[in-house]
Structure 1
Amino acid sequence: MRPNIRPANPADLPAITTLDEVCFDSDAWSAAAWAEEFARLGSDRVVLVADEGEVAGYVVLLVPGAVEDPVDLLRIAVAPAARRTGIGRQLMSAVVQRCAGRTILLEVAESNESAAALYRGFGFTEISRRRGYYAGGEDAVIMRWQEDHE
C-alpha cells in the first residue's frame, strides 16, 4: 500500500511530535517548537505527511515568499517500522514537485549515508560543510537541489 502524501493538518500534530521523538530522540523538537511550526502553516511552512491510516513519515519545509530565495528542507523522518519501504522517496518526490523552479537546501549528518544517498538520488549535490556542527563533533553536509539537476 502506497501512503497518501498530503499537507499536514492540526490533527496530525500529536502523531508528528511523537514520531519526531522516536526518530530523533534527544534531538527531537519540543512540543512548543512543533506548535510554532504548525502555527506558521500556510505562511512560510509546509509540512507534508505520509499517511497510511496513521502518520508514517513527514517532511518540514521553510518556503520563503520570494521564489528566488531557496527552500530549506528542515526535517524529514520516517517511522522505523516503515523504513526501506519507499516512503522517504515518496516524501522527497513530493518535495521536488512542490518546489519546482526553486532551489532546495538541506543539511545532513556526515554519517547518515542512507539519507545522503536518498538526496543524491534526487540530484542533490554537496556544496559545503559545517565542521563539528553536530554533537560529538560530526560535520553537517550542506546539499543543494536545483531543477536542472533533476
Structure 2
Amino acid sequence: MEIVKASILDLNALRKLEQESFGKDAWPFLDLIAVLTFGEVIRLKAVEDDQMAGFVAGDPHPREGWGWISTIAVDPRFRRRGIGLALLHACESKLGVSQSRLTVRISNQIAISMYEKDGYKTRDIWKAYYNDGEDGIVMEKNL
C-alpha cells in the first residue's frame, strides 16, 4: 500500500468510494471536484493493486491552530488493514497545525474506537448533523 497525493484524475474512483462508504451521506459531485482541486486542501489516497483503497482530505486552519479532517474512507474490500489510520496520520502530518478535528457518526463505534485509541477526545456533539438526523461527535487530538 502506498499513500500519494490525489488529483482530479481520481474523481471517478473517489465518487465510487464515497458512495460505498457513506451512502446517503456521500459528498455531492461538485464537492468532490472541490476537494480534489482547491489549493489549500490536503488530499491523499491509499493505493493498493493499482486502485484507490482509501482517501482522506484535510483542511488546515493555521490562524486558529487546528485542521479539519473533512473526510476519510477506506474501500470495504481493504478495511481492517490499518489503511484508515495510515491515511489519518499522513494527513495530520501535512496539516501544519497543533490540533486535528473531525466529525463521526455517533453510531460508528468502530471509527470512534480507532480515533480514541489514536488520542482523539470528544469535544462536542452536533445534534442531527447527518442527513438522517443522527448526531455527529466532534473529536479533537493534539498533534
Q: Could you tell me the TM-score, scaled by structure 2's length?
A: 0.90
Q: Which residue of 1 aligns with 2:43?
A: 47
Residue of structure 1 in register with 2:123 after alignment: 127
Higher alpha-carbon deviation: 25-34 or 66-75: 66-75
| Structure 1 residue 122, shift from structure 2 partner | 1.5
Match of 1:35 among 33, 36, 39: 33
Q: CA deviation at 1:28?
A: 1.1
Question: Matched residue of 2:27: which SS?
Answer: coil
Q: Structure 1: which 5+ runs fail to align?
A: none
- Equivalent residue number for residue 56 of structure 2: 59
Aligned residue in 2 for 1:16? 14
Map Cα deviations across residues 80-131 of structure 1 (whole Å, 9 max, x no partner). Answer: 1111111111112212322354211111111101111111121110011112
Q: Secondary structure at the match of 1:63?
A: strand
- Secondary structure at the aligned position of 2:65 is classed as coil
SS class of match (1:97):
helix
The answer to whether the 8 A contact 1:67-1:102 is kept is: no
**Stretches (4+) displaced over 6 A:** none
Cα distance in 2 for partners of 1:24, 1:123 equals 24
For structure 2, the 5+ residue unaligned runs are none
Tell me the SS of whatever aligns to 1:56.
strand
% of aligned pairs identical?
A: 29
Q: Measured at CA, do residues 61 and 55 of structure 1 come closer, stay the same or move farther in structure 2, by a change above 3 Å?
A: same
Amino acid of the structure 1 residue aligned with 2:27 = W
Residues 73-88 of structure 1 correspond to what in structure 2 (within 5 A)? 73-88=69-84
Counterpart contact for 1:58–1:78, Cα < 8 Å: yes
SS in 2 for 1:37: helix
**Residue 88 of structure 2 corresponds to residue 92 of structure 1:** yes
Q: Which residue of 2 aligns with 1:117?
A: 113
TM-score if structure 1 supplies the norm length?
Answer: 0.86
* Aligned residue-pair number: 142
What value does the CA root-mean-square deviation take over the aligned residues? 1.6
Deviation of 1:57 (Å):
0.3
What is residue 146 of structure 1 aligned with on the other side?
142
